[in-house]
């Protein structure tokens, strides 16, 4: 089966290493700064609540969610889901993550275009990741190159989604850094350093996600263009 050919490994090993490295980097930044208490002594939930009030984001709820580093904002029920380690621990990492998720709630309230664009891609990505692969395989099997290229086009939706994720995430983190200083939730330059470390590490995972999606796409392109000759 050519799916696990050596060419595939050449494309995917760098992606795998980058994903592993960025995931390690996030965990180590999180572990370090979740042990450093913020001067304000606010937990993630308290910081989120304070930022909701400061930003007049009425209707935005805060709830707990299971797991570690599973924090997210769900625009469907306008709720910040904070993991236990963020929700109930007063640390620099907690307030950084809570403020980042609140950044997404602000984007949602404003109708921030990159967020809406990315949400519109979700159904395409869900269908495309399977359909694209099937079209590529059938196209290659039947030596119907146009069909394989159509599969690549459909599959490319995943890379576009990963690309569209970057402005959404970078913007949420930029908002978080600004809000935390503006509201006085963080005060010292040491705390600012911690907030930057946690949020920049998280940003790197989205860059790694994009690199992986692009390498995967390039692998399929090499497969299809190689077959044509
Ligand atoms: Zn985010």
Neighbours of ion ligand 1 (CB under 5 A): 169, 172
Residue 229 clears pLDDT 50, i.e. is over it: no
User: What are 174-181's contacts with CB under 8 Å, separation 24+?
Assistant: 174/103, 175/99, 175/100, 175/102, 175/103, 175/106, 175/107, 176/96, 176/99, 176/100, 176/102, 176/103, 177/99, 179/51, 179/54, 179/55, 179/99, 179/102, 179/103, 180/47, 180/95, 180/96, 180/99
| Mean pLDDT of the chain, nearest integer | 92
Ligand 1 centroid – CA 187 distance (Å):
23
Out of 101, 110, 169, 191, the active site residue is 101
pLDDT at 227: 62
Residue 190 catalytic? no
pLDDT at 129: 78
Mean pLDDT to the nearest integer, 49-65: 94
pLDDT at 3: 54
Of 28-32, 71-75, 155-159, 204-208, least confident by mean pLDDT is 155-159
pLDDT at 133: 86
pLDDT at 101: 97
pLDDT at 4: 58
Ligand 1 centroid – CA 11 distance (Å):
27
Ligand 1 centroid – CA 170 distance (Å):
8
pLDDT at 171: 98
pLDDT at 1: 44
Of 9-13, 76-80, 111-115, least confident by mean pLDDT is 9-13
Percentage of residues of the chain with pLDDT beyond 70: 97
Ligand 1 centroid – CA 107 distance (Å):
11
């Amino acid at each position: 089966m050519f799916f696990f050919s050596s060419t595939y490994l050449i494309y995917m090993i760098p992606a795998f290493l980058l994903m592993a490295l960025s995931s390690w980097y996030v965990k180590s930044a999180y572990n370090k700064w979740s042990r450093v208490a913020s001067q304000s002594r606010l937990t993630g939930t308290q910081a989120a609540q304070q930022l909701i009030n400061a930003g007049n984001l009425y209707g935005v709820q805060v709830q707990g969610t299971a797991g570690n580093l599973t924090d997210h904002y769900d625009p469907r029920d306008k709720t910040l889901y904070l993991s236990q380690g963020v929700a109930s621990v007063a640390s620099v990492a907690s307030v950084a993550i809570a403020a980042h998720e609140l950044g997404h709630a602000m984007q949602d309230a404003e109708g921030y275009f990159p967020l809406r664009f990315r949400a519109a891609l979700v159904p395409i990505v869900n269908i495309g990741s399977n359909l694209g692969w099937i079209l590529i395989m059938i196209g290659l099997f039947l030596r119907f190159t146009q069909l394989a290229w159509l599969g690549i086009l459909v599959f490319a939706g995943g890379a576009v989604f990963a690309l569209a994720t970057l402005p959404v995430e970078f913007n949420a983190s930029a908002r978080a850094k600004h809000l935390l200083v503006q509201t006085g939730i963080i005060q010292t330059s040491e705390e600012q350093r911690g907030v930057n470390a946690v949020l920049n590490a998280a940003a790197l995972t989205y860059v790694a996600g994009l690199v992986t999606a692009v390498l995967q796409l390039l692998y399929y392109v090499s497969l299809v263009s190689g077959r044509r000759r």
